[in-house]
Structure 1
Amino acid sequence: MTLSLDIANLTALYERGKTTPEATIEEIFARIGAKDVAPDWIALRDKESVLDSVRRAPRGPLYGIPFAVKDNIDVAGMPTTCGCPAFAYVAERSATVVERLEAAGAILIGKTNLDQFATGLNGTRSPYGIPANVFNADYISGGSSSGSAVVVAAGLVSFSLGTDTAGSGRVPAAFNNIVGLKPTKGIISTRGVVPACKSQDAVSIFALTVADAAKVAEAAVAFDKDDCFARADAPSFAVETAGRPLRIGIPNAPLSFFEDGEYQRLYHHTIDRLAGLGAEITPFNFAPFRDTAAMLYDGPWVAERLFAVDDMNDDDLHPVVRDIIHNGRNKSALATFESFYRLAEYRRAADAEWNRMDVMVLPTAGTTYKIADMLADPVRLNSNLGAYTNFVNLLDLSALAVPAGFREDGIPFGVTLIGRAFADGQLAAIGDALHRALDGAKLGATQAALSDAAPVAAKPAKKKTVEVAVVGAHLRGQPLNSQLTERDAIYRETARTAAGYRLYALPGTTPPKPGLVFEGTGPGAIEVEIWEMDEAAFGSFVALIPAPLGIGTLVLEGGRQVKGFLCESHAVRGAEDITEFGGWRAWLGRTAVA
């Protein structure tokens, strides 16, 4: 039986001693050699280097799991081309997301082909060749993350990273019968990713199953202070059961399938499957989402694409990519602000529709095309592919693309579950159930059965929680820490405040307590502990806090904001300024020594 590379299977085999990561790498290179490197890969690591990485890999949750990255994502020591040889440079440091995955034990195999500068949804815009659909080489693979999707679907790696600005992490997933997770913007770092539209970019995950995509996301999602678009308020990634009854939104007006009756039929079958799973099917007004989608390439965001390529020679750019990007030069400041105002109006209208539903389900794409047809009409047909994907990042939504059947000619069809920001974990639970409702589903283009792969491990939906920064007597090991632990609060991390804060030793307090005050002149960097507790417990905790202390909003290094202890300014008059010690624990230690 052919080795399935789904993460749960490999991990189980390693744990039982049935195979080793080294044997998996040997198998992968044999498969790549049989299929050939081009056009799916742009750069492949030397096998001996990969095996050396296995020997040095941490035994984390992704230990020995092979993966690939789209070649607009930096890997230390490897060229980053963005599908443009003239642009190529050798990265000195890997992207944050790559560092996190390797720290979890994952093994990088190589870098994959893409629509040049991540501009396109079809996969035909690269001088390195055209990755074809794994089920029919006459058809497009989808882009811009074409190679990343193909190598997963073909069983060459367990998962891969793409990027998704307009649908590039979803359309290739649909066309190749795999899962594409487009996370909420800012929860996976984009530091080390060459931007397409920097304000709208997201790193995406391709995998054989929803469970695998979730496993990768658990390792990849983290706040990165070096990423200016990172979301400090983002929760950790966790698969959660959705509330009941689950309201699934479908458009209240007919969608365009561009004369593809098979895709239309498969979409309606998907709706029937969701109803069979107990979901409440709810019509909603798709107009504000549709109108937002039209703005992505007609609005000022196309000018953002100039950021990475403005100094490139036109002759070095793919002709279609060049024309699209150059259109950004025609966007005026006035038109830009007009678009921002219109987007705000669409967002308000879209927010009203979310009151009707928990999740919307759309075809990932209304149809697909043969490579020859795409090359003959590259702009119009590509635009059709983004009809149901382009709006997602502009409206700050989460999305998960899952397989949903095949046309009679064997071409895959997929749907996308779309939720509000930070609904990623709930989408995973729904998406896994929907994927598994398909009869006889296989993993990508392999013969491995979905039914043999592990399902997602969903937890009950989390209660609302509050992060609280404590600075003194509530620290671990201090006299009042029990007020946190008896409320089941969880210690999350040790952090430091931003500049402007000063710390004082308050006189006459029992037990001894410090007072943290924002005066605007302090150097900051005061050590605090971040604890997370249930929102209901937070109220009873606050009720215990005596004056002059209270709970306010603290700003941490990097700009992240949390609730935390602050002191009324009058109480520190005459108190000892202990800011120089950098924290209460350090001050206690110094006084103990003295």
Structure 2
Amino acid sequence: MMPLSSSPGVMTLDEWKQFCSHSVDALSDIYRQLINGFDKQDPAWISCASKELIDSQIAQLSAWLKEGKSPHDFALWGVPFAVKDNIDVVGFETTAACPAFAYLAEKDATVVAKLKAAGAIVVGKTNLDQFATGLVGTRSPYGAVPNTFDARYVSGGSSSGSASVVARGLVPFALGTDTAGSGRVPAGFNNIVGLKPTKGWFSASGVVPACRLNDTVSVFALTVDDAAKVASIAGGFDAEDAYSRRNPFTAPARFSVKLRLAVPDRLEFFGDELSEAAFAKSLTRLEALGVQCVAVDFTPFRQLAEQLYAGAWVAERTVAVGDTLARFPEAMDPTVRGIVEGGRRFSACDAWQAEYTRATLAREINSVLAGFDALVVPTSPTIHTIDEMAEEPVRYNSQFGTYTNFTNLADLSALALPGDFRADGLPAGITLIAPAWHDAALADFGRLWQQALPLPLGATSKALPISTPVAAQGFVRLAVVGAHLRGQPLNFQLTTRNAVFVEETTTDASYQLYALANTTPPKPGLARGDRGQPIVVELWDVPLARFGELVAEVPAPLGIGSLTLHDGRQVKGFICEPYALADATDITSWGGWKAWLARHHSA
């Protein structure tokens, strides 16, 4: 079978923004052509934006220009995106793929409102497994969403439509949701990026719940850069969401230089040799990148994954859609109805016991991961055709969740990435899973991985563009010049606070470096002077919440101020009070602390 057709104008976020920034008057024509190009019979769409809905969004952009703002003030100016149809968008019906449940949204979900405020434009609502119950993409009265590489196969779900429209380049990003893997399995089946954020980072206000304690809004994109940029805009604390959380800003911006990844000791592919071979290739590729992959006992992960549907947690779904189940049972997909009805057999005692089991297994899982940067798994152990799924809808769905179901229950972050393809030409992605709030570190590695993998984007022929990573939020970039450099005695004050090395560079030519007198351990002082030259510094990203601890340990006459680098960047850095320079030795000519130490000790 041939893959579904892709858009001839496949663009990333930056390309869309540049394309739309020339004239707001041209946006109406751009979007008319874009919407007219959508196939209204395409099962990936439940509804496409009307001319009135597009015009109202463009009118807001125009109003901002009249207020004196410019497209450069908006990170997503004119960028189109799609939204899974269990997330409210004002003016659209929210159906959750159940027409009897449908209602007209009077307010944007918080995540949608944030993206619109950044200049993005909603072009449609996408299909899903009904009430976000499934990992297959076939449980919808609006039709099964086919795989973008081979229409005989499933697209994955529940966020099937969002993954499909991104994979074909119809939009550069789309929102999904992920409770048990719905934001990752469709990414793996369609060769795109699926970012499943830490629970509570994205607001769930305006989102139809599936399992409220474990739901997360997710992001699909063609590149990790784009997914990370969208996440940085959409995320953040929301007082209207009872389960929203504030980022503690203690996690690292990157993984270790010597990356260690855990791998399940017993990998299960349910007899799918093609998926097994593809994952083996990806592991070999990781090792070629210098990554150490270490087998770990996967038992607690497997046991927790089984809890999501086999235990009392399924009763959360019953609570979420109980009214529809009571009033319109015939309107529900039979498989979905069977799953949701199953929640009625559990008691309150069962629910509490399920929580105790979850907490115990989650603690074991986080203990296993403590010695690693992340866990790497196949996004799904196998894939099935739409016809096969009709024969075994529950069993095959369960197989898809083998490496996804436990993630939210254990409070972990995850990033699904394109991986080596199967021999039959179908995608077989990998997923990295890390502790909560390690989203920035996942994205940083995801960029490196995507650059190392020579794949086209999604189901298109577009090549990966040059990376333009977004600066991670919640970190202070600090320039160190002396005892905090790598290999020096105070470097531990950075590494024990999850600070990570970024690069070695130099200041501009206005700085002088001094060896201070009577300091233990020996320390330099950096100050502006008339006889300056570029001085070697290291840049480190320090988690925001740990920065104050570090500053408190800086002894006089040193302090933290603002430094100018040779390329004009401004960063925080160690500086010295002038009074301490009177009896210090000027070592500016050595160009850096390590160079002076080496020559000083060899003299």
The TM-score normalised by the length of structure 2 is: 0.74
Q: CA offsets per residue over residues 311-367 of structure 1, 9 Å max, x none?
A: 222111111000000000011122222222222221221122112211111000001
Letter in 2 for 1:423: H
Among 315, 319, 330, which residue is 1:303 paired with?
Answer: 315
User: Matched residue of 2:397: which SS?
Assistant: helix
1:43 maps to 2:43: no
Find the partner of 1:3 among 2, 5, 9.
Answer: 9
Tell me which amino acid in the other structure corresponds to 1:260.
Answer: D
Q: Relative to structure 1, is the Cα distance of residues 49 and 345 closer, same or farther in structure 2, using a 3 angstrom cutoff?
A: closer
State the partner residue of 2:134: 120
> What secondary structure does 2:462 align onto?
coil
Q: CA separation in 2, counterparts of 1:417 and 1:533? A: 25
Amino acid at match of 1:145: S
Which one of the candidate residues 368, 376, 384 is aligned to 1:361?
376
Contact 2:229 2:470 in 1 (8 A): no
- CA 1:196–1:54: 2 relative to 1, 3 Å: same
2:411 maps to 1:396: yes
Residue equivalent to 2:495: none
Structure 1 position 536, deviation (Å):
2.5
- How far apart are 1:18 and its partner, in Å? 13
Flag the 1:438–1:23 CA change in 2: closer, same or farther, 3 A: farther
8 Å contact kept, 2:265–2:296: yes
Report the equivalent of 2:525: none
Q: Does 1:31 align with 2:31?
A: no
| Preserved contact between residue 8 and residue 453 of structure 1 (Cα < 8 Å) | no
User: C-alpha distance in 1, partners of 2:48/2:252?
Assistant: 33
Partners of 1:447 and 1:340 lie apart in 2 by: 46
Of residues 103, 128, 132 in structure 2, which corresponds to 1:89?
103
The answer to whether the aligner puts 1:154 opposite 2:171 as a matched pair is no
Most deviating of 261-270 and 56-65: 56-65
Change beyond 3 A, Cα 1:19–1:409: farther
Q: Give how far 1:114 is off.
A: 0.5
Deviation of the 1:306 alpha carbon: 1.6
Q: Find the partner of 2:287 among 269, 275, 300.
A: 275
Alignment partner of 1:447 is 2:453: no
In structure 2, give the amino acid aligned to 1:244.
V
- TM-superposed deviation, 1:214: 0.6
The answer to whether 1:351 aligns with 2:357 is: no
Contact 1:241/1:459 (8 A) holds in 2: no
Corresponding residue for 2:447? 432
Deviation at 1:24, TM superposition (A): 4.1
Q: Secondary structure at the match of 1:56?
A: helix
**1:259 aligned to 2:271?**
yes
* Counterpart pick for 2:256 among 243, 246, 262: 243
1:507-546 equivalences under 5 Å are: 534-537=547-550, 539=552
- Shift in Å, 1:535: 2.9
Are the equivalent residues in 1 in contact too, given 2:263–2:293 (CA < 8 A)?
yes
Q: 1: CA distance between counterparts of 2:358 and 2:203? A: 25
In the alignment, the residues of structure 2 paired with residue 248 and residue 301 of structure 1 have an alpha-carbon distance, to the nearest angstrom, of 29
Q: 1:31 to 1:234 in 2, by over 3 A?
A: farther
Query: In the alignment, residue 336 of structure 1 is paired with which amino acid?
Result: A
Once the two structures are superposed, residues 434-466 of structure 1 have per-residue CA deviations (whole angstroms, 9 ceiling, x without a partner) of 122222x1111111111x35343466994699x
1:354-503 counterparts in 2 under 5 A? 354-439=369-454, 441-450=455-464, 452-457=465-470, 462=475
The offset of 1:43, in angstroms, is 1.2
Corresponding residue for residue 335 of structure 2:
320
Letter in 2 for 1:328: G
The answer to whether the Cα contact below 8 Å between 1:195 and 1:307 also exists between their aligned partners in 2 is no
Compared CA separation, residues 224 and 320, structure 1 to 2 (3 A) = same
Q: How many angstroms apart in 2 are the aligned matches of 1:196 and 1:167?
A: 12
Give the corresponding residue for 1:494: none
Alignment equivalent of 1:163, drawn from 174, 177, 187: 177
Corresponding residue of 2:300: 288
Structure 2 CA distance for partners of 1:202 and 1:464, relative to 1, 3 Å: farther
User: How far apart are 1:120 and its partner, in Å?
Assistant: 0.3
Contact 2:136 2:157 in 1 (8 A): yes
Cα distance in structure 2, aligned partners of 1:14 and 1:464: 32
SS at the partner of 1:404? coil
- After the TM superposition, which of the residue ranges 206-215 and 532-541 deviates more from structure 2? 532-541
Distance 1:98 1:333, change over 3 A: same
Amino acid across the alignment from 1:300: A
Deviations 1:235-265 (A, max 9, x none): 49x9933222111111223x11111111111
TM-superposed CA distance for 1:158, in Å, is: 1.2
Unmatched runs of 5 consecutive residues or more in structure 2:
1-6, 65-70, 479-543, 557-603
Instruction: Quote the RMSD (CA, aligned, Å).
Output: 2.6
Query: Whole-Å Cα distance in 2 between the matches of residues 215 and 79 of structure 1?
Result: 27
State the secondary structure of the residue aligned to 2:429.
strand
**In structure 2, what residue type is equivalent to 1:415?**
I
2:139 maps to amino acid: R
Show CA shifts across 1:497-542 (max 9, x none): xxxxxxxxxxxxxxxxxxxxxxxxxxxxxxxxxx97713356369x
Find the residue that maps to 1:398 and give its secondary structure. Answer: strand
Residues 385 and 29 of structure 1, relative CA distance in 2, 3 Å threshold: same
Identity rate, percent: 46
Contact 1:288–1:349 (CA<8 Å) still a contact in 2?
Answer: yes
Q: What SS does the aligned partner of 2:415 have?
A: strand
What is the alpha-carbon distance in structure 1 between the residues aligned to residue 283 and residue 202 of structure 2? 30
1:219 and 2:233 matched: yes
Q: Residue 129 of structure 1 aligns to which amino acid in structure 2?
A: G
